[in-house]
């Protein structure tokens, strides 16, 4: 049986205007998970909702009803979408789901390869499913194990491969450079020239690290004021820029001016009286806002668009090179999880298999005794012993291979095959109805470990 | 034996520093490297304490004990960077220096010098200890200066590779270098003043041609120069880093040169 399925939408299947319709706010996610609880077939569920993906992991896997229930939750959130939501949704089942989650946690499925934020988002999603207020946790034993394992895999991918190494966006390059120049950003003064969206993203990233003050200067003072108010900064008129430049630690220039706004002479004049420490300049404009000669001034670190692209290209190249190494870690953790999951199911399957054929053996013996009623008791005992021995011999190899299958990652396939070929679903249903007991005790990992150890 | 254990810990630390460098400072390599170096310093201190107990004198006289003591003081300088975050990565420069000094000391045999100096007692102990602490400060300034120049090069070449990632921030390195230089200058000056006062008080003469004296005065001027370049306009941080690197290198080279030509043999440091 498949352990888990996932239904979702991501940057690989839908543009942002569609993805944002599937996005759940934390409060909404709790409501959605609560609603899912009423779907009787869904035993466990975790909802992962980030700006690049919304995914619903559900147990049990391989169940059409469960997957459709999950799809309904997402479709209801998205509302009316032209052409329907199905065209944007993907489904994975069983091993593919397991591998998918590990790749997601490791940043291998991210828009920016190797980004680290997703690890925390996976953790938050898992924790949310574990603390649904007033109701039992939605993440049960299978998703608990799966998400713990995914977080471990993601952590190992980041700590042992270079997949998360280097800065992969202009904003993160800016933060990284500022840290390596100033040590920390606390108390640093930032100035933006222009009101471009990239500059805004850079400032937001810098602000998270505690800059002291932000000054926005733009030809249109209105736009400067608007941006400054959004970023909790201060707008200054363009002719005040040289004065502010003297006190600036980080300058982000992104105007659409046709000629440089910061010339070498102007720069020297602006900073001549200041006890100028280092100055980091990110010139994001084309044509450039800062004359390249300014970069030759003492203690000035000038990065233009080409420099930044080279850094980003280099980072992404190194990250791509580490993908095979990261995929090997995904394989390893997926195999471990599937072994664990297979071990949960193998004991009841073996028990059912034996019970199934023992019933057959007993029925056939009864038919035989009716035909051979003259047979003495001693001879009957011999025949019965023979039938048991034959059954043991017949089931020995399948049982052994089934246990081996758990060890080599094919356990789930084997269990499904054995269940199907020997019609164990019917057998298990009959036994379940007859006994009224579940397989909880039988399925626990300790019992399986002992069985496997004995077999070896 | 204890010295060998300390050396092993230092070598282990160095290997981990290089591993951390190759991984761009990711993971816990640098933390473990620092911890190993600190363990090496602890074992090294025990080794020199045992020397003191066993021979009834501080390991400040004779080449091997002196080198081992200087190595320990530099190691303590590294441990003192504990609260500096990435600044602790100066260990990648300091640990090889410690290993070199300690390895030479161990190979020479860390035993008391056969002859005793007339300049002994508390005066001597304070003078030598203060001078060694001063040199230790200059070694830390050298390490931070070297890494400062490396990081500056990485920033100017617009690369953000593993060397960039591993090397501490410029501001951290500058702060560390400045503190080490000031502390080193003060202690070294005190050490020299003590020696000068003793000489004037008890010998009434000052042998200006003694290589020890010449070398000590040169060291003092190097301290002055390294601190002096921080004055004035321009990129004083870079100048100071460069002065620390060049100054420490000059001290090492001149020491080796003076040892080769010195007739005093084992009594020079």
Q: What is the pLDDT of residues A207-245, one digit of tens each?
A: 887 787 899 998 888 888 888 888 888 999 888 888 888
* Closest approach of A89 to chain B, Cα-based (Å): 37
From the list A173, A301, A315, the residue facing B155 with the nearest CB is A301
- CB A350: neighbour CB atoms within 10 A? 20
From the list A164, A180, A310, the residue facing B158 with the nearest CB is A310
Can you read off the two tokens belonging to residue A289? 């806002």
Most A CBs within 10 Å: which of B25, B160, B174, B240, as the mutation test of the A interface?
B160
Residue pair A89/A13 in contact (Cβ under 8 Å)? The answer is yes
Q: What is the CATH number of domain A5-165?
A: 3.30.460.30
Q: Token pair 């040199």 is at which residue?
A: B135
B172 inside 8 A of chain A by CB: yes
What pLDDT is stored for residue A1 in this prediction?
60
pLDDT band (50, 70, 90) for residue A350: confident
A110 inside 8 A of chain B by CB: no
* Closest approach of B211 to chain A, Cα-based (Å): 40
3-state SS, one letter per residue, for A278-335: CEEEEECCCCCCECHHHHHCCCEEEEEHHHHHHHHHHHHHHHHHCHHHHHHHHHHHHH
Q: What is the pLDDT of residues A305-345, one digit of tens each?
A: 899 888 888 888 889 999 999 999 999 999 889 888 877 77
* Closest approach of B63 to chain A, Cα-based (Å): 40
Residue pair A384/A358 in contact (Cβ under 8 Å)? The answer is no
Top-confidence residue, B244 or A428: B244
Q: What is the pLDDT of residues A130-147, one digit of tens each?
A: 765 555 667 888 999 999
Q: At what angle do helices B29-55 and B2-22 cross, to 10 degrees?
A: 160
Give CA separation, B157 vs A76, A335, A367, in Å. 53, 44, 90
Q: Left if phi > 0, otherwise alpha if psi is -120 to 50, otherwise beta: which for B144?
A: alpha
> Measured between beta carbons, which residues in chain A are less than 8 angstroms from residue B169?
179-183
Would you say residue B97 has pLDDT above 70?
Answer: yes
> Measured between beta carbons, which residues in chain B are less than 8 angstroms from residue A164?
26
Most B CBs within 10 Å: which of A155, A159, A179, A180, as the mutation test of the B interface?
A180
Would you say residue B118 has pLDDT above 70?
Answer: no
What pLDDT is stored for residue A150 in this prediction?
96
Residue tagged active-site, from A51, A286, A375, A385: A51
Q: What is the pLDDT of residues B35-67, one digit of tens each?
A: 999 999 999 999 999 998 888 888 887 888 888
Q: Token pair 């080193």 is at which residue?
A: B184
What pLDDT is stored for residue A393 in this prediction?
94
What pLDDT is stored for residue A91 in this prediction?
93
- Whether residue B23 and residue A162 make contact (CB cut-off 8 A), yes or no, is yes
Q: What is the pLDDT of residues A173-210, one digit of tens each?
A: 888 899 999 988 888 899 999 877 778 888 888 888 77
Percent of chain B with pLDDT over 70: 91
Q: What is the pLDDT of residues A388-411, one digit of tens each?
A: 999 999 999 988 888 777 766 676
Q: Which long-range contacts (CB under 8 A, 24 or more apart) does B220-226 make?
A: B220/B188, B220/B189, B220/B192, B222/B138, B222/B247, B222/B248, B222/B250, B222/B251, B223/B134, B223/B138, B223/B181, B223/B184, B223/B185, B223/B188, B223/B189, B223/B247, B224/B185, B226/B138, B226/B141, B226/B181
Give CA separation, A344 vs A404, A439, A448, in Å. 14, 10, 7
- Whether residue A166 and residue B156 make contact (CB cut-off 8 A), yes or no, is no
B61 inside 8 A of chain A by CB: no
A59 is catalytic: no
Strands A300-304 and A5-10: unpaired
The domains of chain A are located at 5-165, 187-308, 342-455
- Whether residue B155 and residue A177 make contact (CB cut-off 8 A), yes or no, is yes
Residues facing residue B53 across a β-bridge = none
What pLDDT is stored for residue A441 in this prediction?
38
Would you say residue B120 has pLDDT above 80?
Answer: no
| CATH class name, domain A187-308 | alpha beta
Can you read off the two tokens belonging to residue A300? 């000035």
Q: What is the mean pLDDT of chain A?
A: 84
**Residue B99: helix, strand or coil by DSSP?**
helix
From the list B151, B156, B175, the residue facing A180 with the nearest CB is B151
B144 inside 8 A of chain A by CB: no
What pLDDT is stored for residue B269 in this prediction?
58
Residue pair B143/B47 in contact (Cβ under 8 Å)? The answer is no
- Whether residue A182 and residue B165 make contact (CB cut-off 8 A), yes or no, is no
With CA atoms as reference, report the closest residue to B148 among B254, B246, B3, B42.
B246
> Measured between beta carbons, which residues in chain B are less than 8 angstroms from residue A173?
160
- Is the preceding omega at residue A287 within 30 degrees of 0, hence cis? yes
* Closest approach of B90 to chain A, Cα-based (Å): 15
* Closest approach of A171 to chain B, Cα-based (Å): 14
Average pLDDT over residues A51-65: 88
> Measured between beta carbons, which residues in chain B are less than 8 angstroms from residue A310?
158
- Whether residue B155 and residue A180 make contact (CB cut-off 8 A), yes or no, is yes
Residues facing residue A217 across a β-bridge = A193, A236
Burial of A242 (0-12, 13-18, 19+ CB in 10 A): middle
Q: Token pair 């035989």 is at which residue?
A: A368
A177 inside 8 A of chain B by CB: yes
pLDDT band (50, 70, 90) for residue B117: low
With CA atoms as reference, report the closest residue to A236 among A225, A250, A252, A247.
A225
Nearest Cα residue in chain A from B156: A301
Q: ipTM of the predicted structure?
A: 0.86
What pLDDT is stored for residue A117 in this prediction?
85
DSSP-assigned letters across all residues of A335-356: HHHHHHHHHHHHHHHHHHHHHH
- Whether residue A315 and residue B160 make contact (CB cut-off 8 A), yes or no, is yes
The beta strands (E) that lie in A174-278 are given as 189-193, 213-217, 234-236, 250-253
Give CA separation, A440 vs A353, A432, B161, in Å. 17, 12, 53
Can you read off the two tokens belonging to residue A97? 């789901």
């Amino acid at each position: 049986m498949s352990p888990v399925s996932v239904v979702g939408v991501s940057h690989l299947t839908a543009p942002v205007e569609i993805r944002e319709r599937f996005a759940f706010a934390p409060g909404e996610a709790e409501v959605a998970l609560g609603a899912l609880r009423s779907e009787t077939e869904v035993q466990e569920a975790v909802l992962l909702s980030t700006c690049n993906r919304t995914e619903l992991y559900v147990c049990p896997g391989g169940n059409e009803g469960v997957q459709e229930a999950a799809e309904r939750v997402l479709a209801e959130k998205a509302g009316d979408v032209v052409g329907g939501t199905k065209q944007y949704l993907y489904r994975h089942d069983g091993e593919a789901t397991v591998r998918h989650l590990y790749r997601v946690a490791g940043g291998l499925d991210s828009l920016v390869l190797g980004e680290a934020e997703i690890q925390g988002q996976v953790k938050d999603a898992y924790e949310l499913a574990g603390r649904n207020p007033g109701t039992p946790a939605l993440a049960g034993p299978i998703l608990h194990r799966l998400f713990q394992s995914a977080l471990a895999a993601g952590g190992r991918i980041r700590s042992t491969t270079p997949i998360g190494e280097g800065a992969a966006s202009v904003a993160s390059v800016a933060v990284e450079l500022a840290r390596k120049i100033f040590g920390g950003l606390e108390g640093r003064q930032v100035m933006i020239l222009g009101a471009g969206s990239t500059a805004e993203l850079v400032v937001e990233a810098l602000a998270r690290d505690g800059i002291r003050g932000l000054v926005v200067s733009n030809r249109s003072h209105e736009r400067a004021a608007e941006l400054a108010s959004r970023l909790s900064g201060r707008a200054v008129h363009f002719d005040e820029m040289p004065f502010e430049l003297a006190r600036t630690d980080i300058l982000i220039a992104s105007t659409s001016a046709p000629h440089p706004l910061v010339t070498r002479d102007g720069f020297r004049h602006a900073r001549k009286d200041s006890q100028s420490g280092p100055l980091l300049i990110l010139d994001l404009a084309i044509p450039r806002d800062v004359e390249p000669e300014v970069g030759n001034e003492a203690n000035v670190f000038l990065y233009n668009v080409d420099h930044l692209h080279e850094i980003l290209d280099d980072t992404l190249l190194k990250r791509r090179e580490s993908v095979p190494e990261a995929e090997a870690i995904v394989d390893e953790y997926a195999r471990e999880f599937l072994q664990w999951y297979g071990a949960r199911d193998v004991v009841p399957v073996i028990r059912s298999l034996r019970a199934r054929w023992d019933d057959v053996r007993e029925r056939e013996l009864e038919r035989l005794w009716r035909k051979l009623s003259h047979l003495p008791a001693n001879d009957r005992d011999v025949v019965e012993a023979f039938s048991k021995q034959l059954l043991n011999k017949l089931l020995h190899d399948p049982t052994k291979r089934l246990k081996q299958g758990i060890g080599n990652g094919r356990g789930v396939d084997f269990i499904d095959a054995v269940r199907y070929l020997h019609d164990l679903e019917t057998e298990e249903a009959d036994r379940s109805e007859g006994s009224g007991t579940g397989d909880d005790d039988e399925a626990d990992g300790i019992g399986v470990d002992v069985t496997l150890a004995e077999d070896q | 034996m204890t010295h060998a254990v300390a050396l092993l810990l230092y070598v282990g630390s160095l290997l981990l520093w290089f591993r951390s460098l190759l991984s761009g400072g990711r993971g816990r390599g640098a933390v473990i490297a620092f911890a190993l170096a600190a363990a090496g310093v602890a074992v090294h201190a025990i080794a020199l304490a045992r020397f003191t107990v066993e021979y009834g004198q501080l390991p400040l006289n004779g080449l091997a004990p002196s080198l081992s003591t200087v190595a320990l003081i530099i190691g303590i300088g590294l441990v003192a960077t504990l609260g500096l975050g990435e600044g602790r990565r100066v260990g990648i420069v300091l640990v090889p220096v410690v290993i070199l000094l300690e390895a030479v000391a161990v190979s020479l045999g860390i035993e008391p010098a056969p002859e005793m100096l007339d300049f002994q007692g508390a005066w001597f102990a304070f003078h030598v200890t203060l001078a060694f602490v001063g040199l230790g400060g200059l070694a830390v300034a050298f390490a931070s200066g070297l890494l400062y120049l490396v990081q500056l090069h990485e920033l100017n070449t617009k690369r953000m590779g593993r060397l960039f990632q591993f090397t501490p921030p410029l501001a951290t390195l500058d702060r560390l270098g400045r503190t080490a230089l000031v502390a080193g200058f003060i202690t070294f000056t005190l050490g020299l003043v003590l020696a000068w006062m003793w000489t004037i008080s008890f010998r009434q003469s000052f042998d200006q041609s003694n290589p020890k004296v010449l070398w000590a005065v040169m060291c003092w001027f190097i301290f002055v120069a390294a601190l002096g370049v921080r004055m004035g306009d321009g990129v004083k941080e870079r100048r100071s880093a460069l002065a620390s690197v060049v100054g420490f290198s000059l001290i090492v080279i001149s020491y080796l040169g003076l040892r080769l030509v010195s007739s005093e043999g084992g009594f020079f440091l």
